[in-house]
Amino acid sequence: MKINIGVFFGGRSVEHEVSVISALQAIRAFDREKYDVTPIYITREGRFYTGEALGHIEEFRDIPALLKKSQEVLPAMENGRLKLVRQPAPRFGKAVAAEIDVAFPIVHGTNVEDGALQGFLRTLGVPFAGCDVFASAVGMDKFAMKALFRERGLPVLPCLRFTAREVFDGPEAVADRIMEKIGLPVVVKPVNLGSSVGIRLARDREALLDALDYAVSFAAAVIAEKAVENLRELNCAVLGDADGVEASEVEEPIAGDEILSYEDKYVSNAKGGAKSGGKSGMQSLKRLLPAPISPELREKVRHCACEAFLALDCAGVSRIDFLMDGKTGETWVNEINTIPGSLSFYLWEPLGKPYARLLDELVELALKRSRSAAEMNYTIDTGILKNASFGGAKGAKSSSAKR
Ligand SMILES: Nc1ncnc2c1ncn2[C@@H]1O[C@H](COP(=O)(O)OP(=O)(O)O)[C@@H](O)[C@H]1O
Ligand SMILES: [Mg+2]
C-alpha cells in the first residue's frame, strides 16, 4: 500500500513564493512507487486548495486562474486519517477530495513555519514531517534560538532584543544601549523573519537609527547584534531527531552584497545560469559546495550544527547557518532554519543521499514520532465530568475549574 503524502505549502508569509518553489521541487522528487502525493496549497488568505494543477510551477504565474482549476478543501480527521473535504460540499459526487496519511509542511516564514501549521496538524492528530511545535516556534525567533544555543555552550554573537514599542517610544535610548552593550558596526534584524527581509548593517549612529526604524516596520520586535567583519558564511544541514542525528556537507553561500539578500537567495539565479540548470530556489544560490575550509573547521561546523539541532529538540531536516570572520577564522552559529529552502537536499547529495532518500527518511521520522506519541498517555480518565454540574442555572459562578 502506498503512503499518501500531503505536501502543505504557501501560507500567509512573506516567503510564500519561496515555499511554492521548495514544495514543487519536493513533489517532483518523491518516489512514486512508495507514495501518492497530494499538493495542498494555502493561499495568502489562509484558504486550502488541492488539485493536479497545483503540482506544476508554471501554473503559479497566474494564481487566480490556477485556483479556478483547483478544489477548495477543508482538512478534517476521520478514523485517524486526514481527509480533505470539498468546500463547498458538492451536491453530487464524492465529498472527500483526498486522504492523507502523513502531512508534509514545506512552508517558510511566519504564520506557517513558526509552529502555527505544526500546531494545527498536531491538534488534528495527523502525523507530520519536520520539527514539532516547540522547535518550530523557537526556531523562528532569532533571540529565543540564540538563548538556547548559548545555553548549550555554542558560540553566539552578543545581541539585544527590543520591542517595536520600545523603538517607537525611545529610539535614542535604544541606540544608546546598543552602542554601549554591542558597539558598531551592528546588524539590526526583525526577530522573526527570514530571507534577509528587514535586515540592515549600521556603521554609525545615524544608520543605526535608520536600521531600527526599518526593522520595526516588519516585526513587533527586533534584535541588534554585533556585525561580523570580513564575513564568510557556512551552512550545514542536520537530519534526525533526539534519538540520533547526522550532519550534511558544508556549503559556503556567496553574497553579491554586504548582506546576503533576498535577491541573492532567490532571484539572481532563478532564471537559471549554466550552473543552476534552470532550477530555482535556495539550491540555485551561488555557492561553493563543499565549502573551501579546513577539514578541522568542517568537522567543527558539522558538530556545532548537530548540537544546535539538539538544543532546540528539532526533528526532520533543519539547516544551521554560521557566520565567520574570514580573517580571524572565528565562527558563530547564526540561525537555524527548521524548514530550509529546497529542504537543503543539495547538501545531502555530495554525501551519497539523493533527494528521494532524504524524503523517505523524513517520512520515516514523521511516522516514528507519531508512533511514540500514540504510546504516550494523553487520556487520564478522572471521571471528573461524570457528576459535573454548575449547580443550577445561575450556579456557574460558584464552580471553578481547578488545574
Ligand atoms: N551579525 C552579522 N554580521 C554580519 N552579517 C550578518 C549578521 N547577521 C546577518 N548577517 C547577514 O544577513 C543575512 C541574513 O541574516 P540572517 O540572520 O541569516 O536572517 P534571515 O533569517 O533573514 O536569513 C546573513 O545571511 C548575513 O549575510
Ligand atoms: Mg539566514
Q: For 371-390, give one letter per residue: b (16+ CB within 10 A) or e.
A: eeeeeeeeeeeeeeeeeeee
Co-location of 146 and 290 in the same domain: yes
Please tell me the distance between residue 44's alpha carbon and the centre of ligand 1 in angstroms: 26
Counting the structural domains of the chain, the total is 3
- pLDDT of 278: 39
Domain membership flag for residue 384: no
297: number of Cβ within 10 Å: 16
For residue 64, whether the previous peptide bond is cis, meaning omega lies within 30 degrees of 0, is: no
pLDDT in tens, the chain (403 residues): 999 999 999 999 988 999 999 999 999 999 999 999 999 999 999 999 999 999 999 999 999 999 999 999 999 999 889 999 999 989 999 999 999 999 999 999 989 999 999 999 999 999 999 999 999 999 999 999 999 999 999 999 999 999 999 999 999 999 999 999 999 999 999 999 887 889 999 999 999 999 999 999 999 999 999 999 999 999 999 999 999 999 999 999 987 655 655 555 555 444 433 333 334 555 556 899 999 999 999 999 999 999 999 999 999 999 999 999 999 999 999 999 999 999 999 999 999 999 999 999 999 999 999 998 888 766 677 788 888 888 876 655 555 666 7
How big is the chain by its Cα radius of gyration, in Å?
A: 23
Co-location of 107 and 174 in the same domain: no
- pLDDT of 279: 45
The protein residue whose alpha carbon is closest to atom 12 in ligand 1 is 259
Please tell me the distance between residue 116's alpha carbon and the centre of ligand 1 in angstroms: 24
Co-location of 236 and 318 in the same domain: yes
- What CA–CA distance (Å, rounded) separates 131 from 114? 10
Domain boundary among 226, 245, 271: 226
Co-location of 183 and 255 in the same domain: no
- pLDDT of 197: 86
The answer to whether residues 212 and 188 touch, using CB atoms and an 8 Å cutoff, is yes
Q: Which atom of ligand 1 is nearest to the CA of 253?
A: 25
Ligand 1 pocket, residue 335 CB under 6 Å: yes
Co-location of 101 and 214 in the same domain: no
pTM of the model: 0.91
Domain membership flag for residue 395: no
**CB-facing half-sphere around the CA of 58: CA atoms within 13 A:** 0
- pLDDT of 160: 98
Co-location of 9 and 61 in the same domain: yes
Q: Which amino acid is at 233?
A: E
Domain boundary among 207, 226, 245: 226
Q: Considering every ligand atom, which ligand is closest to the CA of 264?
A: 1
The answer to whether residues 119 and 20 touch, using CB atoms and an 8 Å cutoff, is no
Q: Considering every ligand atom, which ligand is closest to the CA of 253?
A: 1
Domain membership flag for residue 193: yes
Residue given cell 558597539 in the structure block = 183
Domain membership flag for residue 310: yes
Directed axis angle between helix 142-151 and helix 295-311, to 10°?
110
Question: What SS3 state is found at 253?
Answer: strand
Please tell me the distance between residue 292's alpha carbon and the centre of ligand 1 in angstroms: 20
The answer to whether residues 366 and 189 touch, using CB atoms and an 8 Å cutoff, is no
Q: Considering every ligand atom, which ligand is closest to the CA of 334?
A: 1
Co-location of 144 and 250 in the same domain: yes
The answer to whether residues 110 and 44 touch, using CB atoms and an 8 Å cutoff, is no
- Write out the residue range of the structural domain in which residue 192 sits: 159-226
- pLDDT of 47: 98
Domain membership flag for residue 101: yes
The protein residue whose alpha carbon is closest to atom 20 in ligand 1 is 194
Residue given cell 535610548 in the structure block = 173
The CATH number assigned to the domain holding 248 equals 3.30.470.20
The answer to whether residues 324 and 232 touch, using CB atoms and an 8 Å cutoff, is yes
- pLDDT of 387: 85
Co-location of 171 and 305 in the same domain: no
The CATH number assigned to the domain holding 179 equals 3.30.1490.20
- pLDDT of 51: 98
The protein residue whose alpha carbon is closest to atom 3 in ligand 1 is 227
Co-location of 148 and 215 in the same domain: no
DSSP classification of residue 54: G
Please tell me the distance between residue 263's alpha carbon and the centre of ligand 2 in angstroms: 13
